[in-house]
Amino acid sequence: MTASSSRATDLNPAARRPPRVVLGVAGGIAAYKACEVLRMLRSAGADVTVVPTQSALKFVGAATFEALSGHPVATDVFTEVPTVAHVATGQLADLVVVVPATADLLARAATGRADDLLTATLLVTGAPVLVAPAMHSEMWTHPATTDNVALLRGRGITVLDPAVGRLTGADSGIGRLPEPAHIVEMAMLLLRRPGSLPRDLVGRRVLVTAGGTREPLDPVRYLGNRSSGKQGYAIALTAAARGADVTLISANATLAGPPGVTVVSVSEARELQAAIVGFATSMDAVVMAAAVADYRPETTALTKIKKDDESSALCLQLVQNPDILAALSADRAKRGQVIVGFAAETGDEHGSILDHGRAKLARKGCDLLVVNGVDAGRGFEVDDNSAVILAADGSEPVQVPLGPKTALAAVICDELARRLPA
């Protein structure tokens, strides 16, 4: 089971062929969610071949996988012997994704077993491998599983942490399969990046903010912005996959929490500030991806503000919210702490998007500033993003072309890893 990059393929309109993805499915109750992962991969343009274990077919029939993928399904190494399918399947893959990976599958992969088509494929492939575990909490935390996961990660395999939530029966806890959307986001990232995802943030504590703050006018209305939180969640997901201990402070986002990430919910700017102050002292890096309201109403009405039929205008008195990013940068809670800010900008008569970004970098005092244009429907409430990353140390700006928000998240993590003290 290796994770070299020889077959990584960029998903773009100029690609000569769709990327070939092998979707392995092990025998756990979460196997039915592999169908959603398959559908999403196909929608993203991938050519998907499903390789289930015999146990997996007890949960989802072969006909379902064949109908959704458009390819026949095999489980053993004796099917299509003349084409040497147990070797060719792994050799031709650009990516192998295992959903779900049971404790048994992890153990067999870690020890190099090749007693069915899926484990043979894992042993043969030179493509990146993404593994999404799902099992009961006791199985995930057992020392044997812990050792197997560490071994696989040491070989360059991207093993996501499972989510916390409802398991089978009445049980709840860690061990739930990560959300299909998170699995597919990581799959798309691995198809675009050369090689496996590095574990270069192991031992690092990273604080990420996401979403948009809301400043209440009355019990019904608020001042807010269009931030969905997708970019901050993508950063948290990517940093956790690279080994970081991630805390995500989420302002009014309705997204599922990334696997392995601690999520703290807030609403107003001052709540966000208080949460950051509480966590920042122990963090190696703080990534301020949340869109924080610059102003809030001076007073909040205790009852709903009624329309005045005798007046066509409503006057609001606004006051400035604290500048959280500037305060963080000026009074770093930890030596060597890396602070990353975001600037959602539009050009105007006073300057371009980059002009405003450079001025904000100097004004805020952070180490990195991610500058992205939000005119013409860009940036907010969409799945793709582009940006320029400016650095206070004067290094060359990093251009990140339009692509999935996990692609920008990966570049931000690259810059973090490069700047954090050894």
Could you tell me how far CA 3 lies from the centroid of its own chain? 20
Question: Residue holding tokens 């793709």?
Answer: 384
Length of the chain: 422
Contacts (Cβ under 8 Å, ≥6 apart) of 372: 342, 343, 344, 345, 378, 379, 385, 386, 387, 388
Q: Is-contact 132 178, C-beta < 8 A?
A: yes
Give the whole-angstrom CA distance, residue 96 versus residue 2: 10
φ, ψ of residue 231 in degrees (nearest 5): -70, -45
Q: Spell out a b/e string for 94-105, using b for 16 or more CB atoms within 10 Å of the CB, else e.
A: bbbbbbbbbbbb
Q: How far apart are the first and last CA of the chain?
A: 29
225, 252, 321, 385: which one is catalytic?
225
252 is catalytic: no
DSSP string, 83-101: GTHHHHHHHT-SEEEEEEE
- What phi and psi values does residue 187 have, to the nearest 5 degrees? -60, -45
Q: Give φ, ψ of 163 to 5 degrees.
A: -85, 170
Active site residues: 225
